[in-house]
A and B are shown apart, each in its own frame.
Chain A
């Protein structure tokens, strides 16, 4: 017979342990999101992973959002319940295999040099998730042992998933401007 701790309320437990470091809590459509500052991410995740009654032991995904140009900070005019202090949001989607429930931890990174600590020592699976975000969104993960690009070529310039990244590099050719575009198109040599 194995003793399993009864399921505890993650918001209550986290607030009891971290107090004001839990900056914001939002519940929407039955999903709970905790917001912390980047430097607290590893501690909070380690707590959520190992505390009795929580055991969020599976990292489903790490995702990132770019709120450029005006969906964050002082000039954000969205709902009052949203809390977006900085441009880049990084969300950790956790799953508890023991209690069959999910939790989201979110953090916000500065626009100039977005840095979030790596959680690769908690979940090895965070390796490629963090590399993908670093590649496509340009959020640096401090302490990642192998911070190469994952998807784009190594010599790529910029981070394509940022909202200020140009979508394409060529005007679409229609019949009325085909000649104009073909004029400066870089055709290959033999």
Chain B
């Protein structure tokens, strides 16, 4: 058994990387790859849609395949707000504050009919669509949406983010 030799001090890049070589890409693609690869959602559920959101994150559907296994319990550390459930008028300032506390870049998924347009709750107490409170990137229909639907919404958002230009956020 011989001793494996590591790269020497002052070795060239190709020596360090071995057979991997060098990959060139655009800054946009690299940034968007990083953003879609670890888009952490906020730990935030409002109603029954949150149950389905938890099912999406649990083992059977395994949201961590898309780099989203970690729900941050703080808006300062999260990139994605999944509005899971109906937003009441009384709750709307809280939702808005959570959105305002999130650091850029940030995205919003409106999950389910209630968050998207009020759903069956066409009454005085429920906001008729969370887009009256915060801007929404992707709407997911369903009452509640199945985990597949939520994942499709998330992947749709990923497609949107991949087409982003980083300078738009600067």
Which residues in A have some Cβ–Cβ distance to B below 8 Å? 152-153, 160, 165-170, 172-173, 185-190
A160 in contact with B122 given A185-B132, A186-B132, A187-B131 (CB within 8 Å): no
A168 in contact with B132 given A153-B89, A153-B90 (CB within 8 Å): no
Q: How far is the CB of A120 from chain B (nearest CB, A)?
A: 25
Q: Which A residue sits closest to B122, measured CB to CB?
A: A168
Q: Which A residue sits closest to B125, measured CB to CB?
A: A160
* Residue B134 is within 8 A (CB to CB) of chain A in the complex: yes
Contacts of B123 in A (CB 8 A): 167-168
Q: Which B residue sits closest to A152, measured CB to CB?
A: B90
Evaluate contact between B122 and A190: CB separation under 8 angstroms. Answer: no
A173 in contact with B132 given A160-B125, A167-B123, A168-B123 (CB within 8 Å): no
Q: Mark B127-140, 1 if CB is under 8 A from A, else 0.
A: 01101111100000
Q: How far is the CB of A184 from chain B (nearest CB, A)?
A: 12
* Residue B85 is within 8 A (CB to CB) of chain A in the complex: no
**A interface secondary structure, majority:** loop
* Residue B82 is within 8 A (CB to CB) of chain A in the complex: no
Contacts of B118 in A (CB 8 A): 170
Instruction: Give the distance in Å from the alpha carbon of A188 to the alpha carbon of B132 in the complex.
Output: 5
Contacts of A168 in B (CB 8 A): 122-124, 128
Q: Which residue, B89, B124, B134, B135, has most C-beta atoms of chain A within 10 A?
A: B124
Q: Which residue, B123, B128, B133, B135, has most C-beta atoms of chain A within 10 A?
A: B128
Q: Mark B82-102, 1 if CB is under 8 A from A, else 0.
A: 000000011000001000000
Evaluate contact between A160 and B124: CB separation under 8 angstroms. Answer: yes
Instruction: Give the distance in Å from the alpha carbon of A170 to the alpha carbon of B127 in the complex.
Output: 10
CB<8 Å pairs between A and B, sample of 26: A152-B125, A153-B89, A153-B90, A160-B124, A160-B125, A165-B124, A167-B122, A167-B123, A167-B124, A168-B123, A168-B124, A168-B128, A169-B124, A169-B128, A170-B118, A170-B122, A170-B128, A172-B122, A185-B131, A187-B131, A187-B135, A188-B96, A188-B131, A188-B133, A188-B134, A190-B135
Known contacts A152-B125, A167-B124, A185-B129; 17 additional CB pairs below 8 A are A153-B90, A160-B124, A160-B125, A166-B124, A168-B123, A168-B128, A169-B128, A170-B118, A170-B128, A173-B117, A185-B131, A188-B96, A188-B131, A188-B132, A188-B135, A189-B135, A190-B135
Q: 9 nearest interchain CB pairs?
A: A168-B122, A170-B128, A153-B90, A168-B123, A188-B134, A188-B133, A186-B132, A160-B124, A187-B131
